Amino acid sequence: MIGLFWNIRGLGLYGRLPALVSRIRESGADFVCIVETKKSSFTEGYLKSLTGLVPFSWCFLPATGLAGGILVGAKSDNFVLTVGEVLQFSVSVFLLDKKTGLNWKLVGIYGSAYEEGKMAFLEELDQIMGAWQGPILLGGDFNMVRNATEKSNGLVNHRWMDGFNAWVTKWGLIELNPFNRRFTWINNQADPVSARLDRIFVSTEWESAFPFASVKALDRLPSDHNPLVLDTGNNVSFGKKKFRFEKWWLEIPAFKEVMAKAWTVPGLYLG
């Protein structure tokens, strides 16, 4: 299963549409999430032009003026797509895999680029996670960094960085980082600044179903953001799950006591 995530920076601008069509075709994407479309609507013909003869189901968040906009879609032959929530910074859909029966939530994200919208964005991320307890994948442009090394000049806002990391920790999310690129955005100025703004997060339930998933960054042109391609390795794991140790368990006061009791249970295997 292949997913494509890209901040296109305006689908109506020169070269954007053919670039997106070629990325979808060449990657063999089964689902896509395109953000900052800067489009208020999509005709049926326009959507068909993105995938040619391959039928897709779509859901979108209109742009506000010439800003924002999210488009999420999935192959109709592979998934039953059901619209979840269309909020201020996100589009959520449920994808029911016709072959395996796995039902999971895909969330396309375009976080606020402005200081005044950051808190509302973090609150919306909490709302999304609280509304679904099953497998979930969130991807797109979060417009936030998680540490100073994710920005080439090292200048970060610690308030939002700490808030973003707190959200990741609270919901026990796993970030799938591109193995071939440190940064995913560049500002194209004379003195350029690069940062990792484009991300993919998954829940432990989603990661358990697709334990071999990997992410690769593609060439960014004509946008200033690199597309991210998620590849699950065509593996879906069901049945008995592997034991995994989470570091945050150590922060729970009763952890040592519970572990000591569990260790004395006859026949208990923790491997």
Average pLDDT across the chain, whole number: 92
Q: How confident is the model over 127-148, as pLDDT tens digits?
A: 999 999 999 999 999 999 999 9
Q: Which domains does the chain have, with CATH numbers?
A: 2-242 (3.60.10.10)
Q: What are phi and psi of 81, to 5 degrees?
A: -95, 125
User: How many Å apart are CA 198 and CA 154, to the nearest integer?
Assistant: 17
Run of H or E including 258: helix 255-263
Whether pLDDT at 246 is above 70: no
Q: How confident is the model over 148-180, as pLDDT tens digits?
A: 999 999 999 999 999 999 999 999 999 999 999
Percent of the chain scoring above 90 in pLDDT:
84
Q: How far is CA 8 from CA 22, 55, 252, 266, in A?
A: 13, 21, 42, 57
Whether pLDDT at 240 is above 70: no
The per-residue pLDDT for 190 is: 86
The per-residue pLDDT for 250 is: 73
Strand order in the sheet with 70-75: 56-61, 70-75, 31-35, 2-7, 228-231, 214-217
The per-residue pLDDT for 189 is: 86
Q: How confident is the model over 67-81, as pLDDT tens digits?
A: 999 999 999 999 999
pLDDT band at 260 (very low <50, low <70, confident <90, very high): confident
pLDDT band at 252 (very low <50, low <70, confident <90, very high): confident
User: How many Å apart are CA 136 and CA 147, to the nearest integer?
Assistant: 24
pTM, two decimal places? 0.86
Whether pLDDT at 271 is above 80: no
Q: Which of 23, 81, 69, 78 is nearest to 42 (CA)?
A: 69
User: How many Å apart are CA 249 and CA 231, to the nearest integer?
Assistant: 30
User: How many Å apart are CA 43 and CA 51, to the nearest integer?
Assistant: 14
Average pLDDT estimate for 6-30: 97
The residues pairing with 136 across neighbouring beta strands, listed in sequence order, are: 105
Q: How confident is the model over 84-131, as pLDDT tens digits?
A: 999 999 999 999 999 999 999 999 999 999 999 999 999 999 999 999
Whether pLDDT at 239 is above 50: no
Q: Which residues contact 154 (CB under 8 A, 6 or more apart)?
A: 148
pLDDT band at 257 (very low <50, low <70, confident <90, very high): confident
Q: How confident is the model over 200-218, as pLDDT tens digits?
A: 999 999 999 999 999 999 9
Average pLDDT estimate for 46-69: 96
